Every structure is written in C-alpha cells, then in structure tokens.
Amino acid sequence: MTLGTIKRRICVDSSHRRCSSFATSPTPTTISFSTHCDGAQNPSNDELARCLKALLGLPGQAPVYLIVDALDECSNTSTLSSPRHKVLTLVEDIIGSNLPNLRICITSRPETDIKVVLEPLTYRSISIHDERGQLEDIENYIKSTVYSNRNMGKWKLEHKQLVVDVLTKRANGM
C-alpha cells in the first residue's frame, strides 16, 4: 500500500462521516475531488496531506484514531523518498499540527530510523521487546516449529534443543 493510498482512504472515510452529519457544507475532500476533475486526476501527496489535516481540524470533529501497524515492515531504502520515510514525515507533520481530537497508535519494532522520529513525539510508549511473555512466545513458537517439522523429526533431541536455544537467544525479542 502506498502513502497516497493511505491518505486517500483516511480522507474519504473522514469525509463520508463528516458528510453524513453536515450534508450542506462542502468538505475538504469534496473540494479536492472537484478540483481534480471529479476524481479523474489524482491529487499529489502534499495535497492529500493538506486535505487530511483540514478534515481532522474541522470544528466539532469527533475523536479520530489513526492506527499504523507494523511501520517497520514498510519498505525502507537509504533515500529520503522511501515509503517508510514518507509515512514518518506525514506522522511528524500531523502531530506537529496539534490536532486535539487525533489519537495515533503506531506499532513497530524499535528500528533506529523509526525511534529517531517517534521518540520526541511520543506521549506514551509501551515496549514489549524485552518482556518475559514476549520471549516465552518466541521460544514456544520456535519449539513448535522445530518439534513438528518432518525434516527435523529424525534429529537427536539435543540438536533440536540447541536449535531452540540458539534461535530464541538470537531472536532478541523480535
């Protein structure tokens, strides 16, 4: 999924909820739609970001929950135009807008580029990276895989346990 697709979905969803309550007022989405030949042309990412912020900032706006799951799985390259960098920039920009009814939840592994952007913006952070339950879940998954795998079925018990021990340790909470 691209950043543009994410922004369009949020804008359209917010606009539909807004339109059902205030059918007589044009929304930022309907204005953007009409200025882009009634949807025949795609707006730029910047235009979508402006539309999203305008929708989220409308008076009387109910709380909006923006959930970004598995941000670390978003493609990341060394360039400033990587999808992950674009999402991080959007999140940073939206948070900088101080929208009082916006709640954001982001899940991710603690990768450096993500931590650098999100840590200064964080109101609350919950890390399960080193939690005992997380480590047990990883170990249980590895055991289940090793002991149920047909190819490993003929292995000696001590070799299976060595695989479980090494992989659990090297998983490092991931």
Q: Same domain for 110 and 146? A: no
Rounded to whole angstroms, how far apart are CA atoms 78 and 85? 9
Whether 113 and 162 map to the same domain: the answer is no
Whether 127 maps to a domain, the answer reads no
Q: Strand, coil or helix: what is 96? A: helix
Instruction: Specify the pTM.
Output: 0.59
Same domain, 18 and 41: yes
How high is the pLDDT of residue 71? 93
CB 147 within 8 Å of CB 169:
no
Q: Is residue 147 part of a domain?
A: yes
Checking if the pLDDT of 168 tops 50, the result is yes
In a domain, 58, yes or no: yes
Task: Specify if 126 maps to a domain.
Answer: no
Q: In the structure, what pLDDT confidence band is assigned to residue 42 with cuts at 50, 70 and 90? A: confident
Same domain membership, residue 86 and residue 13: yes
State whether 71 and 146 are in the same domain: no
The answer, yes or no, to whether residue 171 has pLDDT greater than 70, is yes
pLDDT digits (tens, 9 = 90+) for 10-21: 655 555 554 444
Domain count, the chain: 2
Location of structure tokens 């982001």: 106
Identify the DSSP state of 174: -
CA–CA distance, 75 with 150 (Å, rounded to integer): 34
User: Does residue 24 share a domain with residue 63?
Assistant: yes
Cβ neighbours of 90 (radius 10 Å) = 20
Q: 14: domain range?
A: 3-121
First to last CA, the chain: 24
Residue 9 lies in a domain: yes
CA 15/CA 10 separation, integer angstroms:
8
The answer to whether residue 79 sits within a structural domain is yes
